[in-house]
Structure 1
Amino acid sequence: MRNQQIILLAVPGVQLLDVSGPLDVFAEANRLLRRPVYRLSVMALEEADVTCSSGVRLRADQLLSQAADHNPHTFLVAGAPDASQRQLSAQQRAQIVALCQRSQRYGSVCSGALLLAQTGLLNGKKVTTHWACADALAMQLPDAQVEADALYVADGPLRTAAGVTSGLDLALRLVEEDLGRELTQEIAANLVMFFQRPVNQSHFVRKQQTSLAGRSALQAMQRWALANLAEIKGVEDLAAHMNLSTRHLTRLFNQALHIQPGAWLERARIAQARTLLENPALPLKTIPAACGYRSADVMRRAFIKITGMTPSHYRKMSIPAEGA
C-alpha cells in the first residue's frame, strides 16, 4: 500500500478528540509498520489557527480554499458542539463536495455529520452521528437512514462515526480495510482500546430517550407512566389513564413524538432497567418486576433488542470492579 493522504476538516470550535483520536490510530499504524503508510493532515475552513471547544488552539496544515490541490485517500469532517448552528457557505459546500468526490473514502466523526449533510452527499444514505444529534440529523435528512444506535456505519465510500471516541472505532475499521485485522488488533492493544467495542450507542444514552414531549395532557400521562412502570401492563393502561381509546392514543403519540406508544413504553422500561442495573445493591432478580416486566426472560429479550447486550453484561460494563 502506497502513502495515502488522510485529511480531517476542523471547523472553529471543533472537538479536539474528533480530530486527534482518528489521527492517532493512523499514526500508530505508521509507527508499527515503520513507514509512512498514511500521510496525515488537518484542514481548516478559513484560518489556519483553529480554536477547539476546549480552548486549545490547533494549527491546520492547509485551508479548504486549497482543496483543489489535494486528492486525499480519506477525507473526514470532524464534529463540534455547535455544529447544528454552523452554516457552511455555498462555496465551502462546493469545495467539500469536490474533495469527497476525489477521495476513495469520505465521511464524518460525531456531529460532523450535520456539517457534511449540508452538502447533500448524505441524502438517501445510511449514516450515524452522536446519539444526541440523531434526531436533528434525521430531520435534516428525511431521505437518509439515520442509525442512531450504531458506533460507525459504512455505505459505499461513505463512512460515519457516532460520538467523539467512536472516531477511534471508525479509524480502526478504516485501517482494517487497508492493512488487515492482525495489525489493527495490535493498534487497539497499544492504544488500550477495544478492537470492537461490546456496546453500541444505546449503552451511553441517558434518560433523554424518555424525555417528555407533546401536549400538556400527554406529558402528564408520561410523567405518570414513568412513576408507575411496575404497575403498567401495556398501552391499554396508558390509554385508560387519559380516558382515550388505544387508537386515539396512538395517533397522539405519532403526531407529538413520532413514535408508537408501545415503543415509547418499552424504551421507558429499559431506561428504568438500566438505572436499576447500575445500582450494585439491587439483586438482578428484583429488577424485571420493578420495570413492569412479567419475567426476567421477557426483560432480557427486550433489553438485548434495545441495548445489544444482556442485563447481566450491562451491569458488568457499568459497575467498576472492586479495586479498579
Structure 2
Amino acid sequence: MAALHKASSDTFQAELQAFKDPGLAKGLIESIDKLAPACGATLMEVCGTHTVAIARNGIRNLMPTGVRLASGPGCPVCVTSNRDIDTVIALARTPNVTIATFGDMTRVPGSTSSLLAEQASGANVRIVYSPLDALRLAQDDPSREVVFVGVGFETTTPLVAMAIKRADALGLRNFSVFGAHKNMPGALEAIVNDPQLQVDALILPGHVSTIIGADPYRFLAERYGIPGVITGFEPVDVLQGIAMIMRQLHEGRADIEIAYARGVQPQGNPVALAAIEEVFETCEATWRGLGPIPGSGYRIRNRYTRFDAVRKFDPVIEPTRDPKGCRCGDVLRARMAPNECPLFRTACTPENPVGPCMVSSEGSCAAYYRYY
C-alpha cells in the first residue's frame, strides 16, 4: 500500500511539473504572438489566484504589444463591501460573541476599525482555516456564541452550507454565520456591461469552476460575444488559457472552453451545488467597486434562519464610509492598474493597508507590490 501511494504521489508530481515546463511555455508564448489580434486585446483574469500567478511568473510582461491583461473582481476579501466589514465589526463588539474568520479578514479596514483593532481592544477574534473549525469552537464552549464570517465565492460556499447542516444535525444553539458569499457570473455580467471598460475576453476562474462548471458562463459568449477559457494556475496552465483565447479571437468566434480539464467538468460538482441550493438562496449583493448586483449573493434560507448571525443578533452598525483616497473599486473594475493609484507604495502598503486589495493574498495591489 505504501509503495502504491508513493508511485501515485510521484506520478502526480511529474504531471504537475509538466505544467511548469519551459519548453511548453515557450511554444505557447510563440502561439500567443502569432495569434494575437493586430489591433490588440484586453483579457481580464477574473480570479485573484490567477492575478498572483501572472504576476509571480512575469506573464504580463510576455504578452505581445497591445495585449493587456487586466485584473478583475476575483478576490473575495477585496470585493466585500465596507458595509459588510462594518457589520462584522459590529458583531465582534456584541457581548459574549466570538468571531471566527480567515486570517485576511482581520486586517481589512472598515469605516473606523478592523477586526484586528477590535481584537486588540478585547474582542474575541479567532483565526480558523475552515468553517468546521468554527463549529468545533462552538462545540467546545457552549457558553459563548460563535459567529463564522462567511466570505467567499462558490468555492467556499458549499463548505459553509455543510457546516450549517452539521450544526443543525448537532442541535447547536451557539453557532451562526455572517453570510457575505457571492457568485461570480453576476459580477461578470456587470463587468461586460460596463461602458467604460472594453473587455475582449475572460480568463475564467479555476477554483470557482470546479464547483459550478462551465455552463453558467455560456451566456457571456452567447449573449455578449465574449470568449472565455477556464484554466488552472501553473505557468503553462495560464499560458494555455491565453493561447486558447487568442485562437478564438483569431478565428472570430466566442465560446466558453475548458483548459483545466483535470479539475473542471462542464456540469460542475453536483454534490457541492446541491448543498448550496439546500442551505442558501440567491439575493442582491453589494460588491466593492461594482455596487449592488441582483442575484449575485447568497443568503441563508428561512429553514436555517437561526444560523443567520445578523438576524440573530441584529447588530448596531456604524455609518459606513469608504477610506479616503482608496481606489480599490477602480482596480477591481480594471479601470486602473494598482500602481496607478496615488496611494500605492506610499500611504498604502501591506504593512499599512488603506484598502482590501493590499490586504488579501489574492489582492491585485498586494500582487503588484510584491512582484512589480
Q: Tell me the TM-score normalised to structure 1 length.
A: 0.26
Larger RCO (alpha carbons 8 Å, 6+ apart): 2
Q: Tell me the TM-score normalised to structure 2 length.
A: 0.23
